[in-house]
Amino acid sequence: MSGKIVIADDAAFMRMMLRNILVQGGYEVVGEAENGIKAIAKYTELKPDLITLDITMPEMDGITAAKEILERDKKANVIMCSAMGQQAIVVEAIMAGAKDFIVKPFQSERVIEAIKKVIG
């Protein structure tokens, strides 16, 4: 099953890596954003099945963006991404409403497993 996904990460290289993993996994990347503010705009505009949010981004971080998105759309599917696999951040992301958490550097199997778990 194909799902429409928006990727938000301030690093173009990370967006490209994630895009490649998702496309190979049969998903459609419909948009990208380099900060939380643009991520919210893309989510609102494109209404994807899922959005991945990097935690550390300029202008607005991923956790704040996740809260905003979930406030506007209670059914939003959010997966957080971060190089910092710290427990407190994972807990904060899940408390904010994220459905899963993937750690950088991305491992294809883990990314696809997380996406499948959330949207099939």
Q: Which residues pair with 7 in a beta bridge?
A: 32, 52
3-state helix, strand, coil in the chain (%, to 5): 45, 20, 30
Confidence band (pLDDT; 50, 70, 90) for 84?
A: low
Domains of the chain and CATH, by start: 4-113 (3.40.50.2300)
Q: Which residue has the higher pLDDT, 31 or 103?
A: 31
Percent of the chain residues past pLDDT 90, beyond the cut: 82
Q: Residue 1: what pLDDT?
A: 46
Q: Are 34 and 79 in contact (CB under 8 A)?
A: no
Q: What is the pTM of this model?
A: 0.93
Question: Mean pLDDT throughout 31-47?
Answer: 98
Contacts 24+ apart (CB under 8 A), 70-75: 70/96, 70/97, 72/40, 72/44, 73/43
Tokens found for residue 107: 């491992």
